Structure 1
Amino acid sequence: MDQQSSRLAAFGLRTGILALILLALCIIGNRFELVHFGLAVRGLAFAALIGLIAALLSAAGLVRTLVSNRRGTRTAIAGLVLGLLVAAPVGQAIIAGSKVPRIHDITTDLDNPPAFSAATIAARGEASNPLDRAAPADLAEQQRAAYPDVDTLTVDRQPGKVYEAALETARDMGWEILASTPETGTIEATATTRVMNFRDDIAIRVTEAGEGAHVDVRSVSRVGESDLGANANRIRTYLHVLRQKLAQD
């Protein structure tokens, strides 16, 4: 019994290490474009499953070692922590993704979304998602239902000043600026996610609105059917930071 308990804890730790290795391989493979993003994403889900199994095995091993008062407690704790470390972030992303529609093109202006010109096929890649917002057919309705708060920002400031603040905010967000045209009030940029190195394209438009200005933002994922809510969150964060910047001026 004691020997079995020790083996269970050790097996849980080895399973956790396997999950961590698979997680690292998927991240590295996607970052350096060694594997297709779809394969990398499926690999992440599989790594999370293995991590969950490792956590369960380690938890069982921990209970048995404590009951038997034999060696293996530290091994079981290490396996439990390692398994959860792999499973928790991926699992959280999967749960978050299940709560949002499978769309990847989000804009504050559903009737007249900011357009792209600098984000060409050559720059984005031929396999990238299209920018025509043609699919799904009810894209606008799905966005409106899921993200009713993603809307045009109206500010009581001179459009030129707002444009300068909008451009500065985009740079502060760490985005790569592809084009900035003050004459038309447009900005195009690319955001790169930290872990998986996914690239999303962003279009910003500042227009005159009476004595103030409207700011519209559009964020589009290059790959994947669902963005797991990332584009809406990016727009929310950007507009929040922009509001704070304009309030300080």
Structure 2
Amino acid sequence: MKEKIKERSEFARWSLKHACLSASIAAAAVLGYRFGIMNYQVALIILIGGAALGVMAILSAIVSILAIITSVDTKVTGILSALTGLALGLAVAAPVFLTIQTGYKVPRIHDITTDLQNPPGFSAILTLRTAEHNPLDRKTPANLNELQQAGYPDLGSLLINKEPGQVFTEAVALASARGWEIIAVSAEDGIIEAVDTTRFMGFKDDIVIRVSAQADKTIVDMRSVSRVGISDMGANAARIKAFLHDLNNAE
């Protein structure tokens, strides 16, 4: 019986190389932004470039795996390299492109509030923001309120059948449990200011929660604003909805 000729797949080799380079570029973008070496625009461009290389690694891995499976006269090797390249390429490319896809489904805004007529205002957090950050005047874009209403029609104030003091205490505890950096707490004014830092890129979003009495109940309003970027990819609205849901179900 004729022995099969062994041949290492070039696609498997290139898949692993592209995947390693993709991961290195993505890591450089994340660390570069976190350590202040580059601004967020540059970091995002580099990150997208790394994700594109991740896609190349995925395609090379698929071609390699198919060649290995279908090889007859020549025994093609390199399955481990191909699988590693596939897994690493997916780990880098998938989160980036899924986030971009999500961004197309939501309005290109970054300042979200439950009260469009009288949004909760920031005070203590103002000292943490610079001129390079997004403004807090809600004047850009000019149709911000309309865009928010169209994108998040179900977002609004939360009315709870509890007394304000209890709700305020629960809100502070819930914000702390989420790992937010609590900047200011004023029980007298019913105001909580906090900062949430995203795990991956380290983007900082500023949050203010307002708790006030309404008749014999308590009304809670919340605002979440990204410091950088035109679109928040839906992150601020998702944060508000999740927080108010948990606060409404707090025992």
Q: Which TM-score bucket, shorter chain as reference?
A: over 0.9
Measured against aligned partners, the alpha-carbon deviations of 1:35-81 in whole angstroms (never above 9, x if no partner) come to 11111111111111110111001111111122223211221111111
2:233 paired residue among 224, 228, 237:
228
Distance 1:220 1:171 in 2: 18
Q: How does 1:122-201 map to 2 (within 5 A)?
A: 122-201=127-206
- Aligned partner of 1:189: which letter? A
1:78 aligns with 2:84: yes
Shift of 1:243: 1.5
Bigger mean CA deviation after superposition, 131-140 or 6-15:
6-15
Distance 1:192 1:67 in 2: 48
Distance 2:213 2:56 in 1: 56
What SS does structure 2 have at the residue aligned with 1:187? strand
TM-score using structure 1 length: 0.94
Matched-pair contact (CA < 8 Å) for 2:172–2:192: yes
Matched-pair contact (CA < 8 Å) for 2:7–2:76: no
Measured against aligned partners, the alpha-carbon deviations of 1:148-183 in whole angstroms (never above 9, x if no partner) come to 121100011111211111111111111111111111
Distance 1:167 1:73 in 2: 52
- Aligned partner of 1:222: which letter? R
Shift of 1:4: 7.5
Shift of 1:9: 1.2
Greater Rg, structure 1 or structure 2?
2
2:9 paired residue among 6, 10, 25:
6
Q: What is the alpha-carbon root mean square deviation over aligned residues?
A: 1.4
Aligned length: 244
Distance 2:11 2:24 in 1: 20
- List gaps (5 residues or longer) in structure 1: none
What SS does structure 1 have at the residue aligned with 2:207? strand
What SS does structure 2 have at the residue aligned with 1:70? strand
1:17 paired residue among 5, 15, 20:
20
- Aligned match of 2:40: 37
Matched-pair contact (CA < 8 Å) for 1:186–1:205: yes
Shift of 1:187: 1.1
Larger helix percent:
1
Distance 1:190 1:82 in 2: 32
Matched-pair contact (CA < 8 Å) for 2:7–2:77: no
Matched-pair contact (CA < 8 Å) for 1:30–1:40: yes
- Aligned partner of 2:43: which letter? A
Distance 1:156 1:244 in 2: 11
Matched-pair contact (CA < 8 Å) for 1:62–1:76: yes
Bigger mean CA deviation after superposition, 175-184 or 204-213:
175-184
Query: Alpha carbons of 1:4 and 1:47: their partners in 2 closer, same or farther (altered >3 Å)?
Result: farther
Measured against aligned partners, the alpha-carbon deviations of 1:70-129 in whole angstroms (never above 9, x if no partner) come to 211221111111111111111111101111111000000011100011112x41122000
- Aligned partner of 2:68: which letter? T
Shift of 1:203: 0.7
Distance 2:6 2:140 in 1: 58
- Aligned partner of 1:10: which letter? R
Distance 1:182 1:79 in 2: 53
1:90 aligns with 2:93: no
